[in-house]
A and B are shown apart, each in its own frame.
Chain A
């Protein structure tokens, strides 16, 4: 069944989505999620990688229910509205690599575009450098698109194949419910938990899951995309998605101001470092990777929920990349960039430029 009209795909709809997302992110922060990290797709995938032992950074291990909810919410919405369609086959290995590079770049900055919004809303001026990097990275991506960049066409696939990533998310949810955190223990069953640091800061499981489901439903209907917001302004002078992102920022900013959560400055910001050059360059890399892959990390989760296996491969890349970022010393911390952070950001940028260069004038 296809719905006749979709309010959420209108500009008013995407603005409403942005407002709800901003409010939910602040709610999650007030209920226990880390500072300026109500929702961060890169950080939360990094925490998931830690929870299942793909990296062993003790302070970032938690199977974030928000991510599971975002995929499953999008799956439910797409099934109900007749938009679920299994598809894939558009350069999957390149998309895996782009997902990995995106996670590495984002973890040099310490956040995905969603967290750029939340950090700005909390007054973290370091995020301005991340935002500038994101705009430059996406801008480089638009240059490739103007040169005919394409990863090739996707093909329809068997219905069940689109359920694999949502199925993995359901299995992870079952793992989380069967292996709940035990007070003072860093392991429960097969899952790792943080006893301190960002991984130990989280809202109640069911609240996080419910918020993720709502985000998944609204974002699937509205096509909310933080990267697309910037890309469409640069490429088409089209502000539709950007207004949604600005609504999320405005809502989070106002709520922070009202609730005493706005602390302007660069020093002492939660889970942030002050190395402006690498805040900028990390997000140039991540922004270009998101642009070439056709969506921000959140949008990739929602598309994966709609049956898009190319997006699903990107999501797996995000989780793998986050694990690599911590295992190889690419990831930053509040004290500064990691020992190999420069290599991670610049190496990732080089990978993206090569992918961009060798995939122009294809497919279209």
Chain B
């Protein structure tokens, strides 16, 4: 079960920080990050890929759902 991180409405750098903190707490875990703007989508995706994760992006209305796993 992926850990859900709701980063909608949060400004930089909080979405990336929330994801990295969760990833550090649960190494090898999978995460679903919700963001509501392109910049946060790009930033979280970049941080996840740099950490060796794969990222699947789904558009959900005005939001983005990022499914992140090793």
Contacts and interface: CB of A to CB of B under 8 A. Distances in A.
B19 to A, nearest CB: 10
Interface string B8-40: 111111101110100000000000000011110
A364 B47 contact: no
Interface string A119-154: 000000000000000000000000001100011011
Interface in A1-36: 2, 6, 9
- The size class of the interface chain A forms with chain B is 20 to 34
A294 B8 CA distance: 15
- The size class of the interface chain B forms with chain A is 20 to 34
Contacts of A236: 13, 16, 20, 47
B32 to A, nearest CB: 16
Contacts of B42: 6, 9, 223
Nearest to A95: B11
10 contacts: A9-B38, A154-B11, A156-B62, A232-B13, A235-B13, A236-B16, A238-B50, A240-B46, A364-B10, A364-B18
A-B pairs, 7 with minimum CB distance: A153-B9, A294-B11, A154-B9, A294-B12, A9-B42, A223-B39, A83-B38
Interface of B: 8-14, 16-18, 20, 36-39, 42-43, 46-47, 50, 59, 62
Interface of A: 2, 6, 9, 83, 85, 87, 90, 145-146, 150-151, 153-156, 223, 225, 228, 231-232, 235-236, 238, 240, 294-295, 310, 363-364
